[in-house]
Amino acid sequence: MKLQALAALVTVEMKKLVRHPVNLFLNLLFPALLTIVFIFTFSDPELGMSINSVVPGLVVYAVIFLIMTVAQSFSSERKLLRRLSTTPMTSTEFIGSQIISNMVIAMVQVVVVIILAYLLGFRPESSLGGILLALLITAIFALSSVGLGLITATVSKRPETGTGLSFLFILPQMFFGTFIPVSSSTQNIAKLVPSHYLFDGLQLIFQGNWMSIDFFFDLAIISIVSVLIIVLGIILFEKYGNI
């Protein structure tokens, strides 16, 4: 894999974010709208929720929707991937560029959510170091979203199909891994979804407790699960996705 080619592909992917209205909306404007709407709707003490408890869930919401955009991207680029053997670009470089660009997008999403939330009253107890740690843990979690997107694209022949199937991975993480209340009967289910650990880790960071054992446990789970999912996604897509 040539680093120069990889960097060029990452640049192309980032330009797509700005040039394509759908990608721009899903990856940047959508998290911004979610932040504004959810803070005004759910950060009400009468509901037992504060703005500080809502923000980690908003970050999770934004990043798990990368599953859909990755599934759409790889489904639509299927013909291009079939022609890779006749071009200097390799599948490793293409997939690598997708992984890096989506990790960057995830970190940008965190910045967008935090800045807007701060303007609306969000006051994290963590320092700048904590915010940087939030960017890192979110970027690692983004690997799982890319991997699940690859798995979705493997069985999707068209982008429209990928969009629908991606919600099989998105909805469980939305309902069991964010600020949506989890009952005692569904706590065990929540522990099975990666977003639960990102949400808990971000909460600890914003509370200033990121040096706790609980945070390092969350970080370990996110890292291990994300690496396993992205490796599985790459293997399945390279074996069956180009057919």
Strands (E), the chain: none
pLDDT at 214: 94
pLDDT at 181: 65
Q: Which of 75-89, 113-127, 156-170, 213-227 has the lowest mean pLDDT?
A: 75-89
One-letter amino acid identity for 104?
V
pLDDT band at 204 (very low <50, low <70, confident <90, very high): very high
Average pLDDT, whole number, for the chain?
A: 82
pLDDT at 79: 59
> Can you give the pTM of this predicted structure?
0.85
Residue 148 pLDDT greater than 80, yes or no: yes
pLDDT at 219: 95
Q: How far apart are CA 62 and CA 88, in angstroms?
A: 34
Distances in Å between the Cα of 139 and the Cα atoms of 41, 99, 111, 236 are 27, 10, 12, 22
Distance separating the N- and C-terminal Cα atoms of the chain:
23
Q: How many domains in the chain?
A: 1
Distances in Å between the Cα of 50 and the Cα atoms of 27, 92, 117 are 25, 44, 12
Q: Give me the mean pLDDT over the 172-178 stretch.
A: 83
> Taking a C-beta distance cutoff of 8 angstroms, is the pair 137, 198 a contact?
yes
Q: Which residue has the higher pLDDT, 116 or 72?
A: 116
CA angle 26, 27, 29 (to 5 degrees): 70
Q: Which of 212, 97, 84, 239 is nearest to 154 (CA)?
A: 239
Which range of residues forms the domain containing residue 85?
3-241
Phi/psi of residue 32, nearest 5 degrees: -65, -45
Q: Give me the mean pLDDT over the 80-88 stretch.
A: 58
One-letter amino acid identity for 113?
V
pLDDT band at 78 (very low <50, low <70, confident <90, very high): low
